[in-house]
Chains A and B, each alone.
Chain A
Amino acid sequence: MKTILKAENLRKVYKLGSLLRRITINALDDVNLVVQSDEPVIISLVGESGSGKTTLAKVILRLVEPTSGSAVIYDQVVAGEGNQPSHHQFLGRVQPIFQNPFEAFSSYRTVDSYLQTTAQRVNGLSATDAIGAMESALSSVGLKYPDVRGKYPNQFSGGELQRVSIARALIPHPQIIIADEPVSMIDASLRMNIINLFLSLKDDYKTSFLYITHDLATAYYISDYIAVMYRGTIVEFGRARAVLTDPHHPYTRLLLDSIPGVKRKWDRTRLTLADIETKEYAFEGCKFRNRCPLAQDVCTHQRPPAIRKEDGRDVYCHFA
């Protein structure tokens, strides 16, 4: 069994503000997570803005140093204490896909130049061999090399450009691809093309995916595991199907209730919404307590521990 992803006591603290008003944001507050498997898996990190899911992705991608704790990808420590791979080794094992395909490419370079650089620098191929690698990566995402060669980002649509981005990430045959909101900027009717692509790549390239999103429906569709995050903490983690069809944590339930679906109309009771969100980061106890229907005194003082349920999921709530 390989440890696909492990986060151990991961913490990331940001200090913002001026000399007179310092705000401490616990972007990641003691995050613990383990996924083990022999086969490639798709893990979703879901949450709203400020949940910490993007920060966690950045820590794993080594774009951000954690304040404390460690993270492991495919049995190798990538952040925090421990023996870490060199930059070059890391690039061959972990690759990203970014949210905005138009920002992910420089408007001054052709898109295939990025693929070429990847093939030559990360894979160490010669210029001629690189072309073969590019062709095969592009065909796995449904594109042809002659259609892509020599073109600039503004000559593509969002969906196509995102596919080029995925092709680039595939060239080193990484063990895992970290996809940060890969379809949120793509039109609804084209999203499934990319989502289905992830599923087929998992089988064909044997690549795992860490899928970061606020869209629970697509997370349900492709994930094996799901971690729901709120204000820097994990509130629920387990097999995706189980967690999303039968949520145990009140926040997961709130999220699922808020999705505008096409099957059932909402009931019209008004919600109270959080106003001062930055305060919640500093709570000692449960971060969700101000909005939780089940909240009691213990929630204010004590961080809820992970409660292991029979189906193997973890719920971080005193009353799960």
Chain B
Amino acid sequence: MNTNVRLESAPSVAVVPANPSYRSRLRLNLRLRMGLTILAIFAIGSFTLPFFTDVNPSEQGAYMKNLPISIKHLLGTNSQGQDIFWFLVFAIRNSLILGVAVSLCVTTIATLVGLSAGYIGGWFERVVMLITDSFITIPVFPILIVLGALVRGRTSFWVVGLLLVIFGWAWGARTIRSMALSIREREFINMARFSGASTFDIILKEIFPYVYAYIVVGFINTILFAINTEAALAVIGLSKVETPTLGSIIFWALNYNAMFIGQYTWIVAPVVATVLLFLGLFLTSTGYNELYAARRGHS
């Protein structure tokens, strides 16, 4: 029992004019704007530019090898006779597609599993968490290496994505479950039950809004995870390296010892692109977090 200072939100004239630096709820903070800008450039660039060319970037020997930067070849060509710039554009596109697709699946599964386990409880929760924990404890990367080695090169791009989903959903599910557990104890859940709400209603309307912010952040971070892991696998040659992705460029560049033969662009360009992309994702993720925390302070 305590007494709070309840400053009512009655619509009236304030005692003193409002502080000029007060931001409205819809304006995004700087971090978020920067992050989204970077992502927008990458996304729009990598999806629209391909329409302006009929080049098949994977075709080897399409051009002269190891050409320097020029108007015709914006980043030069590599030792396989491919245009680096276009290869990079397609690579970014494919990495983004993979990242978003994997993230959508992972987030959906983690949310469904976590919320239902957290709220329903009982034996259902125990069985589900047993399965979840098993997936968590499996070390992702070594398994992927083993699987990659087994299917070496014979797999499709989407199988790699599927593997990422299988090993990526568990951790988020666990976190969402613990959030649901703590929300489950709150009084308004009882109120909802006594209002006749069904289990599904409660999960969707009462619990979900409270985990929403975490899910958005998790979604963005999973994109990062997916692209990152695929790149790492590709770099060691365990993904489908013929398909242009950020990782596969780096793989081929390393394979051809790009650094040693002076083909700096070939290795530097994808690394810089990767770093910038991750920066964009990171800024978006933390920027959104900041915005959300500031919003909650007002309500």
By a beta-carbon cutoff of 8 Å, the part of chain A in contact with chain B is 61, 63, 88, 91, 95-96, 98-100, 103-109, 114-115, 117-118, 120-122, 152, 154-155, 157-158, 165, 168-169, 184-185, 187
Contact with A along B186-228 (1 / 0, CB 8 A): 1110111011111001000110011000000000000000000
Inter-chain contact B9/A117, CB cutoff 8 Å: no
Which chain B residues in 1-20 approach chain A with CB under 8 Å? Answer: 1, 3, 6, 8-9
**Residue from the set B8, B191, B201 with the largest chain A CB neighbour count within 10 Å:** B191
Whether B186 pairs with A103 at a CB distance below 8 angstroms is yes
Total of A-B residue pairs, C-beta within 8 Å: 69
Distance in Å: Cβ of B150 to nearest Cβ of chain A: 44
CB-CB under 8 A from B1, the residues of chain A are: 184-185
Chain B residues close to A by CB (< 8 Å): 1, 3, 6, 8-9, 186-188, 190-192, 194-198, 201, 205-206, 209-210, 299
Would B191 and A105 count as touching, CB distance under 8 A? Answer: yes
B197 touches A121 (CB 8 A): yes
Q: Which residues of B contact A157 (CB under 8 A)?
A: 6, 8
In the complex where A154-B9, A157-B8, A184-B1 touch, is A104 in contact with B191 (Cβ < 8 A)? yes
Q: List 6 A-B contacts (CB under 8 A).
A: A98-B187, A100-B187, A106-B192, A109-B206, A114-B191, A187-B3
Residue of B nearest to A180 (CB): B187
Minimal Cβ-Cβ distance residue in B for A115: B195
CA distance A158 to B1 in the complex (A): 12
Task: Report if A108-B9 is in contact (Cβ < 8 Å); known contacts: A91-B194, A96-B190, A117-B197.
Answer: no
Q: Which residue of B191, B192, B197, B299 contacts A107 across the interface (Cβ within 8 Å)? A: B299
A63, A105, A121: the one contacting B188 at CB < 8 Å is A105
Q: Judging by beta carbons under 8 Å apart, are A117 and B190 in contact?
A: no
Given contacts A115-B195, A121-B195, 7 further A-B contacts (CB under 8 A): A98-B190, A99-B187, A105-B188, A117-B192, A121-B197, A152-B299, A165-B191
- Nearest A residue to B296 via CB reads A107
CA distance A169 to B9 in the complex (A): 26
Q: Is the CB of A108 within 8 A of B187?
A: no
Given that A154-B9, A154-B299, A155-B9 are known contacts, is A104 also in contact with B188, CB under 8 Å in the complex?
yes
Shortest distance from the beta carbon of A127 to any chain B beta carbon, whole Å: 14
Which of chain A's residues has its CB closest to B201's CB? A117
Nearest B residue to A172 by beta-carbon distance?
B196
Q: State in angstroms the CA–CA spacing of A70 and B187 once bound together.
A: 25
Q: Shortest beta-carbon distance, A182 to chain B, in Å?
A: 12
Shortest CB-to-CB span from A132 to chain B, Å, is: 17
- Residues of A with C-beta under 8 A to B206: 106, 109
Inter-chain CA distance A100–B210, complex, in Å, is: 19
Alpha-carbon gap, A155 to B10, bound state (A):
8
Shortest C-beta distance, A126 to chain B (Å), equals 14
Residue of B8, B195, B198 most packed against chain A (CB within 10 A): B195
Bound-state Cα–Cα, A111 to B6, Å? 19
